[in-house]
Structure 1
Amino acid sequence: MRTGRINRKTHETDIAVEVNLDGTGAFSVSTGIGFLDHMIEQFSRHSLVDIACTIKGDLHVDQHHTTEDSAIAIGQAIDQALGDKAGIGRYGSAYSPMDETLARVALDISGRPYLVWHAKFTQERLGEMDTELFEHWFHSIAHAAGITLHIELLYGQNNHHICEAIYKGFARAMRAAVTLDPRKGGAIPSTKGQLGG
């Protein structure tokens, strides 16, 4: 099984993350931010990547460090689990509808991190979470995991639906990208013979 484990401790956060790319979507998530837990759980369930994630962060300051570091640690664990990326699908995309909302996510596990974000929220918070932090979460995970990631809200009104559609779309795109393709015979999916750099 392709697994990754990251333990990361700073003056701002203390994080333990484990992922299994060949899992069933099992999760155990505790960040101290309820809505962030919910979104990471959605990512796990719909990507079929098992995630165990425990964070103790400086929430008495604000949510920024906890949100950012959760994405960094999960991204690093995914990158670790992917190894040399031999045999993976590499690319993934998904349209993700949720009631009146439709999001589109496309990604390439390229080793060249980049985020294109075209989504807006019309309220400052979902639950207790600052909505401005969602873009930063995706920026952080893209950079930590070496993903070229494009996220676009095509339309939608309900902010909860918008956020959930984006996370589920990301999950489905990642599921396709990390899946091993037997037709590739274990080859690295690049004519260069390596991904990144």
Structure 2
Amino acid sequence: MPRESVVERRTRETEVKVELSLEPGEVNVDTPVKFLNHMVETLIFYMGASGRVKAIDLRGFDDHHIVEDVAIVLGSALDKALGDRVGLTRFGWSIVPMDDALTLASVDLGGRVYFVFKGSFTRDTVGDMATEMVPHFIRSLASSLKATIHVKVMWGENNHHVAESIFKALGLAIGQAIQVKGSGVPSLKGVL
């Protein structure tokens, strides 16, 4: 069964559409926030997935609504593409160096929503995106994906490298967790 989905979200603030396939291929992300484009492309690529993300900002206040809504729709698209989650590896983790930065990410797709972010930035923005939106993106993704996500930045001096190590690590961890390893429910409880 193809693990694909299309999810759209329209609010008074944004319009977001995500077309996602859990197979490798082309990735195209088009939002008004250029640094978000770079990070979401990185995330999807390192998940081993493919797809298109298109987001339009209807109000132009700042980057908050676009970043948040892209995370919500991407998480919903992942959730939909995973179906009943039977046979999933369920857990994934990675440690990624990006030059001076090192980040640990861990994911559980068991249906329990939780989020932990340990890390900091020394600048308020990277490119055109507020650094405070990095953990907010992850929180919003965890919520709509129905996942537990832990991210810890071990160290890093360059803020771009820190952010990129976060999205690469998270992509690899999700990519590991979404792999199919059997036909059973990945829980001793027998349900997720």
Return the TM-score normalized by structure 1: 0.94
> In structure 2, how many angstroms separate the alpha carbons of the residues matched to 1:134 and 1:13?
19
> In structure 2, how many angstroms separate the alpha carbons of the residues matched to 1:160 and 1:5?
30
Q: Secondary structure at the match of 2:53?
A: strand
Q: Secondary structure at the match of 2:37?
A: helix
State whether residues 103 and 155 of structure 1, in contact with CA within 8 Å, keep that contact through their aligned partners in structure 2. yes
Superposed CA offset, 1:106-157 (max 9, x none): 1100111111000100001111111111110000000000110100011111
Superposed CA offset, 1:56-112 (max 9, x none): 013621111110000000000000011110111100000000111110001100111
Return the TM-score normalized by structure 2: 0.97
- Structure 2: gaps spanning 5 or more residues: none
> In structure 2, how many angstroms separate the alpha carbons of the residues matched to 1:53 and 1:171?
16
Quote the residue 2:41 is aligned against.
Answer: 41
Q: Secondary structure at the match of 1:187?
A: coil
Identity, % of aligned positions:
36
Quote the residue 1:18 is aligned against.
Answer: 19
- Runs of 4 or more off by more than 3 Å in structure 1? none
Counterpart residue identity of residue 30, structure 2:
S
* RMSD of equivalent CA atoms: 1.0
> In structure 2, how many angstroms separate the alpha carbons of the residues matched to 1:190 and 1:2?
21
Which has the higher mean CA deviation after the structures are superposed, 43-52 or 61-70? Answer: 43-52
State whether residues 14 and 59 of structure 2, in contact with CA within 8 Å, keep that contact through their aligned partners in structure 1. no
